[in-house]
Structure 1
Amino acid sequence: MSGSRMSPDYDIASPGAGELFESLRAFGYDLPTALADVIDNSITAGARNVWIDLQWAGRDSRILVRDDGRGMAEEDLRQAMKPGSLSPLADRAANDLGRFGLGMKTASISQCRCLTVLSKTKKSAPSLRRWDLDYIASTKTGEWRLLKRLDLLSASDHALLEGQKSGTVLFWDRLDALVGDASVDDDVAQKHFRERADAVKQHLAMVFHRFLKGRKAVNLHINGRQIEPWDPFMEDTGFTEPQVTENLACEGEQAEIKAFILPHHSRISADQHSAGAGPRGWNAHQGFYIYRNRRLLVAGDWLGLGMQKEEHFKLARIRIDLANSADLLWQIDVKKSRARPPAALRQDLLRIARATRSRASSIYRHRGKVIQRQLNDKETFLWTHLMKHGKSFYRINRDHPLVRKVLATSDDRAPVRALFNLIEQTIPAPLIVINNAEKPDTFSQPFEDSPAELRKAMEAVFDAMVEDGRERAEAARALLLMEPFNNHPELVSAFLDDVVRKVAAQKK
């Protein structure tokens, strides 16, 4: 039949727009991964700044993502809004963070029912396209109606791009996944909204940390505040131990592997230790970190190599760098949050993981105190670990300067010794083990919130050493190596400076 689309050989089986969109919403994005997928497009478009605004207004809440990248002209925007706008098999630019031609659309509609994109280039006027799932459902035609009238947005929305030569803004409206039908004065819903904003900040700081620093850094802003990078390898601390880089090849694709042994908490400050834990805690963040074009895909996973996440391996983190041409080989998913190593590389990865875990376990078990172990151990620690008849127990160190002083100055030592013995015999070891296994990152550091008490303890130990006949310089060196003062060298130095000034004043 002339003009008919019917054929004896095939049927045209176009999917219904409304039905397919509803299915695409179930890809498994959450808010942080969805926004990360959108930001991939901004970085690929050469943006130096990306602004994310989460605006609370109850059921009218919205999320805006604006960048100063190259932008898109009319036809480019229309193409970009098509689901599957580019085949995953097509060659891409080396710095392209995309793959399936689905990310921006599926990520957006997973969180909202109305996606509007406004964009302009240096040479083109602003153009607009909108996918409105409720409108598509209401037409009952199954047609892929991509709306494009400029008056779909308000004048204030259009004004967002007026001060830029080029750029793109995404508007997410009708946030049914995040807000639903909550009223503007729903405190519980608003609190949840704010908490998700914090989760977005932490996730983006991790995923794009290699883009957020350096000479050509990208600046990410959330609700007006710049996001600082979170480096899982703590390379700036000076105490991380980088291992030798290896390059593994498989089917013509290169994978660069570099392991890092992170510092024991005794070698870094409490703030550094807290930051190093990352969004999910120390235990959760051990393992492999897979990057594609410097963009983090997998954050801490042993990749199905038969290894469990255990407390004594938490200092082991291993970086894998891939090119975007390795997507199919490493089975990278649409959300760019999962990857699986090819079978040919599993033995090499297992070898690297075992070596890294062994070194991390050694650092963890020895508490990173190599210097102290080489010197005078008798008084470094307040507690000593002993074994008797195959059983482990802890004893207050009688050689500790302050313990020696207490025993020496007591008129009746019997009650003091009885108290020490009672403390040693009633340490709640089973409870400590359980708490450490369940919540290993919740233990506070000694004197974490009480620097004044730390100073008093420092003075008492120093005075005890001097009264015991030790030279002040020797006592000062011992203090710098003694637990827990070795974790606070700046406070020890300030205290010792005060001691020197006092001695100098007395001589005058």
Structure 2
Amino acid sequence: MDYEGLEIQEAIPEASSMIETFRAIGYNLETAVADIIDNSITAGASRITIQRYWRGGKSVITIMDNGCGMNNDELIHAMRPGAQNPLEERDEKDLGRFGLGLKTASFSQCRKLSVLSKKDGYVSYWTWDLDYVALCKKWNLIHWIPDEFSTALDEVESGTIVIWSDLDRIIPTNTSQSNEVMKERFSRSLEKVRNHISMTFHRFIEDKILSIVWGSQTITPWNPFCQDEGKRQTFPEDHLPGNVTMKGFVLPHKANFSTERAYVIAEGPKGWSGQQGFYVYRGKRLLLAGDWLGLFRKEEHYKLARVMIDLPNSQDAEWQIDIKKSKAFPPAECREQIEQYAKQVRSTAEQVFRHRGKILKQRAGSEFFPLWLEKKKDNNWSYVINRQNPVIDHIKRLVTTSPNEAIEGLLKLVEATVPTKTIFINESKDEDKQEPMITVDTTLVKQTLRTLYNNYLSNGKTSKQAKALLKLVEPFNYYEDIIEAL
């Protein structure tokens, strides 16, 4: 298009309205804090300290790092919304995306964002005060910092501290410091942040690239792949277009974890079923934790399946990384490859979930005798006692000498070993659930009903009474037509 000679008109966004729009992008407290940590990592920080100060409606959260810091011009540029074009090529270690993270993440939680930074011995500071922006209706920073933090960087050679105050999206501004209910809610919200950080940045912490201090305690990493569990199953690494890699893991059955505590920790913040799926990383930073990317549903019997996907930041556009860095969508050309790989991992996870006995079979190296057998005919599942099982053979012999003991033993055995886990898995896979008794031969039903019917008659019941009683006995209540024909 030829723009020469066209009339132009500048259309500057109204500052306060635009910032309120930024506030509604969809961050929660966990993703907002993680976005600030991204900036610290990009700045080369090796230590990040997060502090929380409970003061009711005047509470404060700070995130301080020992990164390279910024001079005055660099700080003003960093405080400007859209400071970097997402289409520009970035350093492979740059965790940024749109040049909005510092602002949008902070605005989503507070009305005052203050940043103090130190570089080459000089300290610079500026503040976004949303109340002032609403008052002046301009994109104006104010040269102000809370007094208590003016010396926060005195002991470091370089670094930056981000200060959130007026936390109106977390605590109502009129909340009293003595409000114990709100204090507890504040603490619970921050505990979620701590868990999120432990998961999101676990590879940086494990690789000793970074330590993150929470108050006075160093955060320990939460690794979703249980790298210290010897009975974890690992799949070969697969490669996708754009230098993207994929690696699958199946975690051990609960009985095969090294300790009960290890099993509880491996469950993760979202629980066993919630943590299954893909874990999408961008530059070692976890973007998406436990999601099947629209390819599969989360189901209980796949809960041990976890797949790592590693992206370089050059794939942001192809994978549609969102502004919060909490969503990703695989390109159409590699979805089938991802799906096929994940199916293998899920299949193994199902087998581990379904059969603890599978391991016993492999170890024994000889014929295994299950008590129950699964059968599928015309898309209907049935579960039958294995007549070849030695226990059943023993009960058959016992019937001739101690029939009551044999029958009671059989009933207890059936009660204790009904394959509920297998039934649950098979039924959850079928959209059309089968009715009970649908696969039973009606000849057997008729023979059994006739025997019971005659027994009722011999005990003095009328035909009508006998039939009425049979209709109350499961599973014969499904065969009223046969009962009426007796």
Q: Could you say which TM-score interval applies, normalised by the shorter chain? A: 0.7 to 0.9
Question: Does the aligned pair in 1 maintain the 2:86–2:99 contact within 8 Å?
Answer: yes
Is 1:324 the counterpart of 2:303? The answer is no
What are the Cα deviations for residues 69-122 of structure 1, in whole angstroms up to 9, with x where unaligned? 11111110000000000110111111000010000110011000000000001x
CA distance in 2, matches of 1:107, 1:245: 34
User: Which residue is equivalent to 2:10?
Assistant: 12
Identity %: 39
User: Which residue is equivalent to 1:283?
Assistant: 273
User: Which residue is equivalent to 2:328?
Assistant: 339
Superposition CA RMSD, Å: 3.3
CA distance in 2, matches of 1:217, 1:126: 26
User: Which residue is equivalent to 1:461?
Assistant: none
Of 45, 48, 52, the residue aligned with 1:54 is 52
Is 1:126 the counterpart of 2:119? The answer is no
Is 1:146 the counterpart of 2:141? The answer is yes
User: Which residue is equivalent to 1:67?
Assistant: 65
CA distance in 1, matches of 2:215, 2:66: 17
User: Which residue is equivalent to 2:474?
Assistant: none
User: Which residue is equivalent to 1:502?
Assistant: none
CA distance in 2, matches of 1:351, 1:425: 39
What are the Cα deviations for residues 432-458 of structure 1, in whole angstroms up to 9, with x where unaligned? 999xx99xxxxxxxxxxxxxxxxxxxx
Of 183, 196, 199, the residue aligned with 2:189 is 196
Q: Residues 113 and 370 from structure 1, CA distance in 2 versus in 1: closer, same or farther, beyond 3 angstroms?
A: same
What are the equivalent positions in structure 2 for 1:356-371 lying under 5 Å apart? 356-367=345-356, 370-371=359-360
User: Which residue is equivalent to 2:292?
Assistant: 302
Q: Secondary structure at the match of 1:235?
A: coil
What are the equivalent positions in structure 2 for 1:151-170 lying under 5 Å apart? 152-154=145-147, 156-170=148-162
Q: TM-score scaled by structure 2?
A: 0.76
What are the Cα deviations for residues 268-327 of structure 1, in whole angstroms up to 9, with x where unaligned? 12111111111101111111111110111111111122x111111111111111110110
Q: TM-score scaled by structure 1?
A: 0.73
Is 1:172 the counterpart of 2:172? The answer is no
Task: For structure 1, list consecutive stretches of 5 or more residues without a partner in the other structure.
Answer: 1-6, 400-411, 439-508
Q: Residues 431 and 375 from structure 1, CA distance in 2 versus in 1: closer, same or farther, beyond 3 angstroms?
A: closer
Alignment-mate amino acid for residue 287 of structure 2:
L
Alignment-mate amino acid for residue 261 of structure 2:
D
Question: Does the aligned pair in 1 maintain the 2:279–2:306 contact within 8 Å?
Answer: yes
Q: Residues 422 and 81 from structure 1, CA distance in 2 versus in 1: closer, same or farther, beyond 3 angstroms?
A: same
User: Which residue is equivalent to 1:469?
Assistant: none
User: Which residue is equivalent to 2:33?
Assistant: 35
What are the Cα deviations for residues 204-231 of structure 1, in whole angstroms up to 9, with x where unaligned? 11110100012x4311111221111111
User: Which residue is equivalent to 2:211?
Assistant: 219
Q: Secondary structure at the match of 1:320?
A: strand
Paired residues, what number? 407
CA distance in 2, matches of 1:297, 1:192: 26
Question: Does the aligned pair in 1 maintain the 2:249–2:307 contact within 8 Å?
Answer: yes
User: Which residue is equivalent to 1:185?
Assistant: 178
Q: Secondary structure at the match of 1:159?
A: coil
Shift of 1:10: 1.3
Shift of 1:372: 6.2
Q: Residues 390 and 18 from structure 1, CA distance in 2 versus in 1: closer, same or farther, beyond 3 angstroms?
A: closer
Q: Residues 368 and 92 from structure 1, CA distance in 2 versus in 1: closer, same or farther, beyond 3 angstroms?
A: farther
Shift of 1:418: 5.5
Q: Secondary structure at the match of 2:164?
A: strand
CA distance in 2, matches of 1:284, 1:107: 25
What are the Cα deviations for residues 23-69 of structure 1, in whole angstroms up to 9, with x where unaligned? 10001000000000000000111111111112211101110101111
User: Which residue is equivalent to 1:402?
Assistant: none
User: Which residue is equivalent to 1:104?
Assistant: 102
Q: Residues 392 and 176 from structure 1, CA distance in 2 versus in 1: closer, same or farther, beyond 3 angstroms?
A: farther
What are the Cα deviations for residues 440-499 of structure 1, in whole angstroms up to 9, with x where unaligned? xxxxxxxxxxxxxxxxxxxxxxxxxxxxxxxxxxxxxxxxxxxxxxxxxxxxxxxxxxxx
Shift of 1:367: 2.1
Is 1:255 the counterpart of 2:250? The answer is no
Q: Secondary structure at the match of 2:223?
A: coil
Alignment-mate amino acid for residue 51 of structure 1:
T
Q: Secondary structure at the match of 2:239?
A: strand
CA distance in 2, matches of 1:387, 1:218: 51
Q: Residues 211 and 9 from structure 1, CA distance in 2 versus in 1: closer, same or farther, beyond 3 angstroms?
A: same
CA distance in 1, matches of 2:315, 2:408: 67
Q: Residues 369 and 188 from structure 1, CA distance in 2 versus in 1: closer, same or farther, beyond 3 angstroms?
A: farther
